[in-house]
Amino acid sequence: MDKEARIYVAGHEGLVGSTITRHLREQGFNNLILKPRDSLDLCRQESVKNFFAFEKPEYVFLAAARVGGIAANQQHPADFIRDNLQIQTNVIDSAYRHGVKKLLFLGSSCIYPRLASQPIHEECLMGGYLESTNEPYAVAKIAGIKMCQAYNRQYGTDFICVMPANLYGPGDNFDLENAHVLAALMHRFHLAKLNGEKEVAVWGTGKPRREFLHVDDLAAAVILLMNIYSGSEIINIGSGKDISIAEAAQLLKEVIGYSGAIVYDTAKPDGTPQKLLDINKIKALGWQPVITLEEGLRSTYKWFTEYYRRHARD
């Protein structure tokens, strides 16, 4: 990408899109095309077609998606499969029809089989049954990958697909019920600290293992790939380390400075037992994660408390 390239970041108001946008600006890309959600509904085919016809982006980061944690996925399976299929179909097809030079599609580590061998290599895709708590979302993301690969094969497009581990960072959704685990627990521990509560409930058994990646590390990886990688093979992006939910909760408790107890609500689902990605492929392309989980949680918590204070005053 040259610095004057017309780059569309779809989903620039979300965790991933906003971070990619900030990194692009920091690297001197100033010809960014950003459309707020309320002025372009990516689920509407006509609107997306007209937008591409008018704006003619050269590069597209497809970071727009309906996302959420385990509870949101379980409670809104129809919304997750429909919105994601619509958004990605509209954007990928318009990118082809309007001559986009290159598109990067963001998937998720939940596309892999529930019981894939660990660390999960890219070739495990479609090798077994999916985790039931997020199957509709995963199926939509798999469809996105297959669509990019099919367009590359039939139309000769340059559409690439990356599979990030569980992401976190400033700008995340911190909803107590619908967010992903680190953001939800950060909020819950914070409130417990403020209100002097004696215990905090962590969902499930605490035994599942997750690989967490700071969104700044992800943004660096996807911009690198947009610049140097072409091909239909999907690429994992992770921190290379996993920890149990119990360990993550303990770390959060320390970072936040909460002194009460952790209890486990085993009526809530555990989800998939382990998700640790094999990141050798992206490492061989010259990227590696630099933000440790502890550092990342500390800086995210700093951001969260400032945000929380500002919004409490509104």
Shortest separation between residue 291's beta carbon and ligand GFB, angstroms: 18
Shortest separation between residue 193's beta carbon and ligand GFB, angstroms: 16
Q: Residue 110: is it exposed, middle or buried by C-beta count within 10 angstroms (0-12/13-18/19+)? A: buried
Of all helices (H) and strands (E), which one includes residue 299? helix 293-313
Q: Which is nearer to ligand GFB, 169 or 204 (CB)?
A: 204
Q: Which is nearer to ligand GFB, 17 or 69 (CB)?
A: 69
Residue nearest to ligand GFB (CB): 69
Q: Are 12 and 63 in contact (CB under 8 A)?
A: yes
Q: Which is nearer to ligand GFB, 94 or 272 (CB)?
A: 272
Q: Is the peptide bond before 57 cis (omega within 30 degrees of 0)?
A: no
CA separation for the pair 296, 169 (Å, rounded): 7
Q: Are 158 and 152 in contact (CB under 8 A)?
A: yes
Please report the beta strands in the chain, taking only residues with DSSP state E, as ranges in sequence order. 7-10, 32-33, 59-62, 102-106, 159-164, 166-168, 199-203, 209-210, 212-214, 235-237, 243-244, 261-265, 274-275
DSSP helix/strand/coil, 202: strand
Q: Which is nearer to ligand GFB, 7 or 251 (CB)?
A: 251
Q: Are 168 and 300 in contact (CB under 8 A)?
A: yes
Q: Record the tokens describing residue 261, joined without a space.
A: 């107890």
Shortest separation between residue 146's beta carbon and ligand GFB, angstroms: 17
Among residues 96, 112, 137, 301, the one annotated as catalytic is: 137
Whether 137 sits among the annotated catalytic residues: the reply is yes
Q: How far is CA 23 from CA 26, 27, 149, 209, 221, in A?
A: 5, 6, 27, 29, 11
Shortest separation between residue 9's beta carbon and ligand GFB, angstroms: 20
Shortest separation between residue 78's beta carbon and ligand GFB, angstroms: 14
Of all helices (H) and strands (E), which one includes residue 255? helix 245-256
Q: Which is nearer to ligand GFB, 5 or 243 (CB)?
A: 243
Residue 37 amino acid letter: R
Binding site for ligand GFB (CB under 6 A): 69-71, 73, 108, 110, 133-134, 137, 166, 179-181, 184-185, 202-204, 208, 210, 245, 268-271
Shortest separation between residue 49's beta carbon and ligand GFB, angstroms: 28
Q: Record the tokens describing residue 195, joined without a space.
A: 């209100």
Q: Which is nearer to ligand GFB, 216 or 242 (CB)?
A: 242
Question: Which residues are catalytic, by number?
Answer: 137
